[in-house]
Amino acid sequence: MASLLKVDQEVKLKVAAPAEDLVANFFPKKLLELDSFLKEPILNIHDLTQIHSDMNLPLLIPRIEDGNNFGVSIQEETVAELRTVESEAASYLDQISRYYITRAKLVSKIAKYPHVEDYRRTVTEIDEKEYISLRLIISELRNQYVTLHDMILKNIEKIKRPRSSNAETLY
């Protein structure tokens, strides 16, 4: 039992230091990088016609054939997960837009009826609700990022080469 506790302590020590370093150093560095990235001109384009492009690309996922399609299905699952994350991110943006529209309507009512305290209270309540919602969105984005990262890393070879050649292993 004592040796089991010692092994447990050793594992905790080996995991704790890198985990603490990740939280203390890597996360803040990543946040600063992302913040800097968001300020770059490429992400501050006002004329969105500049980002339009033709989509005359061939489909890079190989067609499904008899046998050896596991890699193709991995690619399809990964693309489906990416589409789900993209769709959810778009819904988060819609939610934020709806919040501002609702808040603006309430603020205009406050300007029109400054003596009605319920409008002021409602603005405070929707601000609090949106704050909580944004925290949940950030948590969801983090979870989705982790899921995609895990899925891609675990299947990177099948994503790169969906059909492996067994000829290499025969010799």
Total tally of structural domains belonging to the chain: 2
Maximal CA-CA distance, the chain:
86
Q: Are residues 110 and 145 in the same domain?
A: yes
Q: Are residues 40 and 67 in the same domain?
A: no
140 within domain boundaries: yes
Q: Which amino acid is at 159?
A: I
Q: Is the pTM of this model over 0.75?
A: no
132 within domain boundaries: yes
21 within domain boundaries: yes
What would the mean pLDDT of 82-107 be, rounded to a whole number? Answer: 92
Q: Are residues 64 and 145 in the same domain?
A: yes
Q: Are 137 and 78 in contact (CB under 8 A)?
A: no
Q: Give CA–CA dist 73/84, Å, rounded.
A: 16
CATH number, residue 105: 1.20.120.180
34 within domain boundaries: yes
What is residue 14's three-state secondary structure?
Answer: helix
* Residue 58 reports pLDDT greater than 60: no
On the CB side of 128, CA atoms within 13 Å amount to 6
The residue range of the domain holding 75 is: 54-160
DSSP 99-119: HHHHHHHHHHHHHH-TT-HHH
Q: Which residue has the higher pLDDT, 110 or 44?
A: 110
